Amino acid sequence: MERLQSLNEQFGIKGQLEFAEGPGGLAVAEIRNAGGRATVALQGAHVMTFEPHGDEPVLWLSDYAKFAPGKSIRGGVPVCWPWFGAHASDPALPAHGYARTVDWQPVASEALADGRTRLVFELIETPATKAMCPHPLRLRNTITVGTTLTVALETTNLSQTPFRLTQALHTYFAVADVRRISIEGLEDCDYLDKVEGFARKHQQGPVTIAHEVDRIYLGSGDLLEIRDPGMERIIRITSSGSRSAVVWNPWIEKAEKMGDFGPDGHLGMVCVETANAADDSIELAPGAVHTLSAEYGIEYL
Ligand code: BG6
């Protein structure tokens, strides 16, 4: 592919970053260094896999994921933007926006002095994206790979009028058995329960999962932890630019309907999403920049 060759010439880093053809023919960036490794699809600037050196994958990627142009990949770190969930006024527009299903362009890469590797993407606007969101915006996704993975989504309002943004890093984490994990850091938050028509509820104690869970937690802090006794580890999520978090597991029936989870797929994953959703939507003034970022790391128990 000519595009891959030119990307490798412009942004490749010998021994650390290479562009190649990935599953389903999608172009991917393969990143590896002494700290860890990751693969990122150019469609969606979508981190598909990440593992610290010598460790098990941190991210869940469905064995039944579909890799095809215009299809969101089931797993990794999908980017929901410029709206989260259903569009506020037009139900015909795609859920979670379009950033995850369109092509992005690498714009910079760097081997950092601390050994990590950084790759910056910019969403490519087309007549189709402008038809869904005519407001002039610039979206960058900066992905930094080492012993941890950092994803930073930067939105700039390029126009003279304000823009209201909702978004999420819809991250799928790999767990041994979702029925045995607990998510800490959301104690005492209110949440909107999407399974019960967005009823507002209050979280007491850590979050555990024993049925379909689809919740937007409000007023969340900047550190969440997934305790996974089966994998004998804690996944630590450190975020900034976010005051809401989504916890999602489709459970059996919904996973079956989705068609890209596979049998019992829901048991090996949980989504803990760093978001700007519901009450936490962002009003971007003309020229303003907002960065939503999350760092994922593990600690062994
Ligand atoms: C979650 C939503 O963030 O994403 C759920 O809260 C939704 O309601 C889930 O089902 C998956 O969405 P999608 O579009 O990737 O199937």
β-strand 104-111 against 117-123: which pairing, if any? antiparallel
What is the percent of the chain with per-residue pLDDT over 70, rounded to a whole number? Answer: 100
Measured in Å, residue 101 CA sits from the centre of ligand 1 at 14
What residue has token string 């399974």? 195
pLDDT digits (tens, 9 = 90+) for 187-231: 999 999 999 999 999 999 999 999 999 999 999 999 999 999 999
What backbone torsions phi and psi does residue 59 show, to the nearest 5 degrees? -95, 145
Distance CA 51, CA 150 (A): 12
Question: Known catalytic residue: 273?
Answer: yes
- Separation of alpha carbons 105 and 120, rounded Å: 8
> How far is residue 105 from each of residues 11, 28, 42, 72, 227, measured CA to CA in Å?
11, 11, 7, 17, 36
For residue 170, the model assigns a pLDDT of 99
pLDDT at 288 over 90: yes
Residue type at 64 in one-letter notation = Y
The pLDDT tens digits of the residues spanning 79-127 come to 999 999 999 999 999 999 999 999 999 999 999 999 999 999 999 999 9
> Residue 227: its pLDDT value, please?
98
Predicted confidence at residue 119, as pLDDT, reads 99
> From the CA of 48, how far away is ligand 1's center (Å)?
17
CB of 267 closer than 6 angstroms to any ligand 1 atom? no
Q: Which of 72, 169, 214, 247 most suits a substitution to test ligand 1, by most atoms within 8 Å of the C-beta?
A: 214
Confidence of residue 255 (pLDDT cuts 50, 70, 90): very high
Q: Is the CB of 170 under 6 A from ligand 1?
A: yes
User: What is the Å distance from ligand 1's center to 272 Cα?
Assistant: 11
Q: Residue 54: what pLDDT? A: 87
Sort strands 17-21 and 46-52 into parallel, antiparallel or unpaired: unpaired
Mean pLDDT of the chain: 98
Of the listed 46, 87, 96, 170, which one is catalytic?
A: 170
Pocket mutation for ligand 1, best pick of 77, 79, 80, 96 (most atoms within 8 Å of C-beta): 96
Q: Whose CA is nearest to atom 16 of ligand 1?
A: 258
Structural contact between residues 277 and 216, judged by C-beta atoms closer than 8 angstroms: yes
The torsion angles phi and psi of 285, rounded to 5 degrees, stand at -70, 160
pLDDT at 1 over 90: no
